[in-house]
Amino acid sequence: MQKKGNKYGTHRVIEPKGVLPQPANKIDNNMDEIYDNEILIDVQTLNIDSASFTDIHNYAKQQAGEGASRDAVMEEIKKEMLLNVELQGKHRNRRTGSGGMLLGRVEKIGDALKGKIDLKEGDKIATLVSLSLTPLRIDEILEIREDVDQVDIKGKAILFESGIYAKIPSDLPEKLALSALDVAGAPAQTAKLCKPGDTVLIIGAGGKSGMLCCYEAMKRVGVTGCVIGMCHSQKSTERLQKLGFCDYVFAGNAADPVASLEKISEITNGKLADVTINNVNIPDTEMTSVLCTKDDGLVYFFSMATSFTKAALGAEGVGSDVTMIIGNGYTKGHAEITLQELRENKELRDLFTELYA
């Protein structure tokens, strides 16, 4: 007889008691027995959140020392990931607080869920809830693909009753689908927030979530709107220009708000953006987002490197009356919207296949 579990997974919380699994300092990652409302997953790949992986990679390079080989850095990444799980029972970055998601195969379904969900044992799924709340056991780290923030492992994970997931589609490669589903909340929110005629600024436009947002924004604003893509490097700028999703693309430092404001003012003739979408994976870009958005405009912070304090107090400090939305990684239909983008645009799919699959 399986034990009865809480819908949100509080039965796995070790400390502090009374909180949900995400903010918990430690959760139970014992996979020998599952509760009646849990799904046990045989994990294949962890897709680490971009802000988290960037932080882990930088930390690993510091630990390995100046001039260290790639192998030495990879060993430090392994140590850091294993330590995260050992201390917390989940992979929540101890500095950024963010997680990621995973790809795996359903191994066992709790008795209370059998017949009530559209899954069966053996199905390949991507979890659409954060690793920062997912009970995880890593038995072995097999491969680290630092260019796409993915780590292949042997291990197990638990999906709670309230957890959301997507079945891996048969018409897309697994790693391609996983990469897109990792950031599915961003293009789906873009679809909700952008309307015909809007001027939309996408910061971090050359990255994975950024390119998807550019494509979705282009569709939503139409011929009367304008999509501006701000990229980090010349390479990502040229890549985005070739895709043709934006009216303007430029390389800039998103941590330099004054220079960014001058550039956006120049492009928009001083009108600024109606909607700004921040997809970067580094800190201190809050004020660029705020300053480049007109009063009564909207800023969507998808980036997990965002500081609420810096955004809120910074906007107050410059007298900016913008609406700010925290980047909830879930919105209704987000998996379907994101995968459909890859299906309907060959250039986007080919590029994602080249970069991430």
Over 80: is that where the pLDDT of 357 sits?
no
Contacts of 105 by beta carbon, 8 Å cutoff, 6+ apart: 41, 42, 44, 122, 123, 124, 125
| DSSP assignment of 35-54 | -TT-EEEEEEEEEE-HHHHH
The neighbour count for residue 87, using CB atoms within 10 Å, is 12
Residue 246 confidence class, pLDDT cut points 50, 70, 90? very high
The alpha carbon dihedral of 31, 92, 150, 104 has a sign of positive
Q: What is the pLDDT of residue 327?
A: 83
| DSSP assignment of 136-176 | EEEEEEEEEETTTTEEEEEEEEEE-TT--EEEPPTTS-HHH
| Cα 65 to chain centroid, rounded | 29
Q: What is the pLDDT of residue 205?
A: 97
| DSSP assignment of 214-239 | HHHHHHHH-TTSEEEEEESSHHHHHH
What percentage of residues in the chain have a pLDDT greater than 90?
Answer: 90
Q: What is the pLDDT of residue 85?
A: 98
Give the residue-averaged pLDDT of 283-293. 96
pLDDT tens, position by position, 90-140: 999 999 999 999 999 999 999 999 989 999 999 999 999 999 999 999 999
Rounded to whole angstroms, the Cα distance separating 148 from 328 reads 22
Residue 265 confidence class, pLDDT cut points 50, 70, 90? very high
Judging by DSSP bridges, how do beta strands 150-159 and 226-231 pair with one another? unpaired
Give the residue-averaged pLDDT of 18-23. 96
Rounded to whole angstroms, the Cα distance separating 105 from 321 reads 47
pLDDT tens, position by position, 25-75: 999 999 999 999 999 999 999 999 988 999 999 999 999 999 999 999 999
Q: For residues 158 and 333, which has the higher predicted lDDT (pLDDT)?
A: 158
The neighbour count for residue 116, using CB atoms within 10 Å, is 11
Rounded to whole angstroms, the Cα distance separating 284 from 290 reads 12
Give the residue-averaged pLDDT of 83-93. 98
Q: What is the pLDDT of residue 287?
A: 97
pLDDT tens, position by position, 140-165: 999 999 999 999 999 999 999 999 99
Enter the CATH code of domain 185-333+340-356. Answer: 3.40.50.720
Comparing C-alpha atoms, which of 250, 222, 227 is closest to residue 238? 250
Is residue 106 within 8 Å of residue 39, measured between CB atoms? Answer: yes
Enter the CATH code of domain 10-182. Answer: 3.90.180
Predicted TM-score (pTM) of this structure: 0.84
Q: Chain-wide mean pLDDT for the chain? A: 95
Q: What is the pLDDT of residue 302?
A: 92
Domain edges within the chain: 10-182, 185-333+340-356
C-alpha dist (Å) from residue 4 to 113, 197, 292:
11, 52, 51
Rounded to whole angstroms, the Cα distance separating 51 from 48 reads 8
Residue 330 confidence class, pLDDT cut points 50, 70, 90? confident
At 267 the three-state DSSP class reads: helix
Lowest mean pLDDT among 77-91, 236-250, 323-337: 323-337
Comparing C-alpha atoms, which of 103, 135, 134, 108 is closest to residue 120? 108
Q: What is the pLDDT of residue 266?
A: 98
Q: What is the pLDDT of residue 175?
A: 85
What does the DSSP 8-state code read for residue 320? -
Give the residue-averaged pLDDT of 181-204. 95
What percentage of residues in the chain have a pLDDT greater than 70?
Answer: 100
Over 80: is that where the pLDDT of 195 sits?
yes
In the structure encoding, which two tokens stand for residue 120, read together? 């069966």
Q: Tell the burial category of 113 from Cβ atoms under 10 Å away from its Cβ (0-12, 13-18, 19+).
A: middle
Q: How far apart are the first and last CA of the chain?
A: 42
Q: What is the pLDDT of residue 198?
A: 98
Q: What is the pLDDT of residue 18?
A: 93
DSSP alpha helices (H): ranges in the chain? 50-64, 70-88, 174-182, 185-193, 208-221, 234-243, 257-268, 286-291, 308-317, 334-344, 346-356
